[in-house]
Chain A
């Protein structure tokens, strides 16, 4: 029987889960190592590709051929140059691998933990842009996976809500601090029904950033002692920093011998020093918690439980901050590294019931998920700026963020001048409620020729319909002539497989 799986494609670690015969999500271990989470590291060896912990170990001997944190590059037009040992702008001249290709190698590795996969659900950060989502779908296509996407914190709350004997109910806050991204989602849980209220996040905040601050600390201490600079871009230091961070989660102080240009030096780092070094990130976390509560129109007292997701939630100051803001401790006892993959597996089951056996179907029969639009979706218009007494191009919101899905919203506009020839039908996306054109992403822009003789003030309407699978249908219509331009924006792979694979032809280990 074919299977459906959920994949947490993380910045530092990834995991795959499937529903067991009784419909409970189960994380699949790497058959070779027995590890339930796989390091999101890729090593381009001579004639094969190695994915996982072994790839990370190769940093010592082949630093430039090891790719880490590819997830952070998913929305950029870059390629990984093995020659340079880093991501560089994709100008079409340099040879290398796209983020989608590298992610596909991780997906291929995870795929091998299971068999006969018919459908998969991959998790992405709540505020991942359209470009990054498309790149993720490209990666899945290269890995020969038929997938859908779900937001990471949404998957996590789905898992929490479906844990046997769970007492999760009412309004909950999902605090998802992983290796590279940070998301907060507030949702209402009733039984196995989850209604997402809002999601906020930072795509560049996670354990890797804390590791870099530790490297900066090491460098400054080495410099002070030896009057020599450590190479802070040395990837092997990342491993040392990660180790220090983990130890400091349990102990107040750690000592480490650091190899530098002027020989080895023993460096002590205290938990206090580490916490001070990441205080800017902590401030960002606090701001996002405030924002989430404000968007959900609730106070900390209205939140019944705070649920933790992601390995970085093990850092003591993170729990302290949560306690301070929410006035109560977060829920413990769930494997924070696996919650997202498990939730994704449940969602995969929900979306593909025909692939399930009767026990699995029964297990998820009461599971329900209602999501919201994670961005402001708008269009560009010319409007009168009352302050400047002039006409300016502005972004006008059509679907506000946090609108329950599915939704369909129409906004009415007017033709600007007599004999106007065309209208640019543009679709914009923004995290904030932006009117400023410079601060929004234009995700589609196509012209609509107006009927000859259009008059100033003639009605023109724009309708956006957003469904639960992330498809958006946009209709731009000149009301009088009924001329229309329709745009179908759906999360789909951007290119054909041959183009996506390009020079990618490896055995994966």
Chain B
């Protein structure tokens, strides 16, 4: 379901982004702003220590006129465009992974601040404006991207929506700089382009997961079929029929391949990582977890398989652990080995015993509160987890 929501957002996003850039904002701006005594420069690297940030950033500095002929205050707005295809034209919006750097009503990257000024307001020296963590940027495509950073000095009531100004005459000054960004994940447009391929690869991963314990259980297959059905249900009639036909054939073929153990997991994961975005990776992992618990048990081989996929796809292991915990809490039978248990609690070999003890204690608080759950399955599972935690703590002489 989460995957579906993401797709709706992406499709809507794609539509409005296309709309916005059918007309070049750059052209309009150049008509409005005659003189441009305002400059910016961008340095790549760690921001100044006083910011407290320890992330690789684009550090934006500004200099020159930050004034307004009548008002005592101006709004300084920063937006980003991907101009990889043509630096001379208006580019495509860059999205933000973090709400604080998004426009109010969309995920389009934007940042603004207010500054006191006067008719002659002037910054004689380079002044730090903002540090943008590179990890927060989601460009349209994967790979080496050229990102145009645009900073506008505007009237205080200026509004920006989907990268478009409500009234370009409110822009008093602006400056731009193009920087390079190597984006390793598929971009948000890649997500749309690769959607079908990722769906197929997710089914393939699911089938490999179902086959991991040596046999393909009907309940596990049903989870995969229902997942595919969920995608089909969102389409219009014509596309749904086509998609249904495709899935039906593909599931059948993949079933035979998985049954004869002909799926190369390393190739599959490599291919999947190449095209799947972060949210698509989580969707796939959720499917794997649902398959693993379909028969009411969560086995050691299933746990090892999912842990491997989580690690190789590079998803956040803490988020993965939370997803896994939900499944562990509900299954009838749990057969996980000690090593994956330690891993799933977030314990790593480089930690000393006291760190491990502290983490285990926090896990205890979480599971102990579940020991009085109404659902007997969850209750039983929580009690087992509490016991496992207490036993692990004994091992580490906590």
Contact = CB atoms under 8 A, between A and B. Distances in A.
Contact of A284 (B3, B315, B390): B390
Given A279-B394, A287-B364, A388 B279 contact: yes
Interface stretch (B80-88, B109-117, B156-164, B366-374): B366-374
B173 to A, nearest CB: 30
Nearest to A285: B390
Contact of B391 (A129, A280, A286, A385): A280
Interface stretch (A25-33, A352-360, A428-436): A428-436
A47 interface: no
Interface string B313-336: 001100100100110010000000
Interface of B (DSSP majority class): helix
Interface residues of B, number: 42
Main secondary structure of the interface of A (DSSP, over half): mixed
B365 A291 contact: yes
B372 A203 contact: yes
A77 B374 contact: yes
Nearest to B7: A390
Contacts, number: 99
Contacts of B389: 287
Contacts of A385: 319
Contacts of B128: none
A399 to B, nearest CB: 16
A457 interface: yes
Interface in A108-140: 127, 129, 132
Given A76-B374, A432-B365, A456-B105, A386 B394 contact: no
A457 B103 CA distance: 12
Contact of A387 (B99, B319, B361): B319
B393 interface: yes
A392 interface: yes
A283 B390 contact: yes
B2 interface: yes
Contacts of B368: 202, 284, 431
B365 A280 contact: no
Given A203-B372, A390-B279, A436 B105 contact: no
A431 B371 CA distance: 11
B398 A283 contact: yes
A31 to B, nearest CB: 36
Given A280-B387, A283-B390, A436-B322, A388 B282 contact: yes
A439 interface: yes
Interface in A47-93: 75-77
A286 B386 contact: no
A457 B398 contact: no
Contact of B99 (A127, A129, A384): A384
B192 interface: no
B98 interface: yes
A391 B5 contact: yes
A389 B2 CA distance: 9
A486 interface: no
Contacts of B97: 386, 389
A434 B366 contact: yes
Given A284-B364, A284-B390, A204 B2 contact: no
Interface string B127-140: 00000000000100
Interface centre among B325, B329, B370 (most CB of A within 10 A): B370
B304 to A, nearest CB: 23
A432 B361 contact: no
A350 B398 CA distance: 42
B361 A291 contact: yes
Contacts of A457: 104-105
- Looking at A284, A389, A457, which has the most chain B CB atoms within 10 Å of its CB? A389
Interface in A384-439: 384-392, 430-432, 434, 436, 438-439
Q: 4 closest A-B pairs (Cβ-Cβ)?
A: A431-B369, A283-B390, A389-B279, A280-B390
Interface of A: 75-77, 127, 129, 132, 200, 202-204, 279-281, 283-284, 286-287, 290-291, 384-392, 430-432, 434, 436, 438-439, 456-457
Interface of B: 2-3, 5-6, 9, 97-99, 104-105, 138, 277-279, 282, 315-316, 319, 322, 325-326, 329, 360-361, 364-366, 368-372, 374, 383, 386-387, 389-391, 393-394, 398
Given A291-B361, A385-B319, A391-B2, 17 more contacts: A200-B365, A204-B371, A283-B393, A284-B364, A286-B398, A287-B364, A387-B282, A387-B316, A388-B278, A388-B282, A388-B319, A392-B2, A434-B369, A436-B326, A438-B329, A439-B325, A457-B104
